[in-house]
């Protein structure tokens, strides 16, 4: 039996959350190691690329959240088998990761510096990605690919919820609603999906 250990930060959401949900959906047991930011700071140099998440498969570490999503997503039936639909799923996963990359550099900033940095991305790349993801969803319909729940939907759900939560200072909570209202309906659709409901009920 294969042993899985997923290491990420101690909160619901972020890059590892789709993988956690997929493990649960597949009925695969895994060790869900959750670290504080301080704990990760002490061990940062021991992880590949000095980053999380890391999935250990029989003790062998593997990185890159989208790759992990595809791997576990296939086991859970949450990744398309059709090549074109898989391409659409990958496109959304990649765009969502790019959107994260424009926000992450603002972490750790404070005061006026944080305000200026967040306002700059809201007026620039963050809005570009929100609009673009809304367009991808329009093409797919209710979901980004395969006309059903996939890993792209799980990742989008988490990020939409995050952007609307108010936890990102100087990012308007109505940004998504104004630029891509379909993503708000999508968030509501995904969070009521039996796969997602079952995962959070088990937490």
The answer for residues whose C-beta is within 8 angstroms of residue 93's C-beta and 6 or more apart is 66, 69, 70, 151, 152, 155
Separation between Cα atoms, residue 137 and residue 86, nearest integer Å:
14
Q: Let me know how many helices (H) and strands (E) the chain has, helices first.
A: 10, 4
* Maximum alpha-carbon separation in the chain: 53
Instruction: List the structure tokens of 75.
Output: 């086991």
Structural contact between residues 70 and 15, judged by C-beta atoms closer than 8 angstroms:
no
Label the pairing between strands 54-57 and 4-9. Answer: antiparallel
Separation between Cα atoms, residue 62 and residue 6, nearest integer Å:
10
- Model confidence, pTM: 0.96
* Domains of the chain with bracketed CATH: 4-77 (3.40.30.10), 83-193 (1.20.1050.10)
**pLDDT by residue for the chain (203 residues), tens digit each?**
899 999 999 999 999 999 999 999 999 999 999 999 999 999 989 999 999 999 999 999 999 999 999 999 999 999 999 999 999 999 999 999 999 999 999 999 999 999 999 999 999 999 999 999 999 999 999 999 999 999 999 999 999 999 999 999 999 999 999 999 999 999 999 999 999 999 999 98
């Amino acid at each position: 039996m294969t042993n899985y250990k997923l290491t990420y930060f101690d909160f619901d959401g972020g890059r590892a959350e789709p993988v956690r949900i997929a493990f649960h959906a597949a009925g695969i047991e895994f060790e869900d190691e959750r670290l504080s930011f301080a704990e990760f700071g002490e061990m940062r140099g021991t992880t590949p690329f000095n980053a999380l998440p890391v999935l250990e498969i029989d003790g062998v570490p593997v990185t890159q959240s989208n790759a992990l999503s595809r791997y576990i997503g296939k086991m859970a039936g949450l990744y398309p088998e059709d090549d074109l639909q898989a391409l659409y799923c990958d496109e959304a996963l990649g765009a969502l990761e790019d959107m994260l990359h424009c926000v992450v550099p603002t972490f750790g900033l404070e005061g006026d510096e944080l305000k200026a940095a967040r306002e700059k991305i809201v007026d620039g790349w963050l809005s570009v990605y929100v609009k673009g993801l809304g367009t991808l969803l329009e093409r797919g319909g209710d979901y980004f690919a395969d006309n059903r729940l996939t890993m792209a939907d799980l990742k989008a759900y988490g990020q939409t919820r995050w952007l609307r939560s108010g936890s990102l200072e100087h990012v308007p909570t109505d940004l998504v609603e104004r630029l891509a209202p379909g993503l708000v309906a999508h968030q509501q659709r995904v969070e009521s999906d039996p796969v997602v409901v079952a995962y959070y009920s088990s937490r």
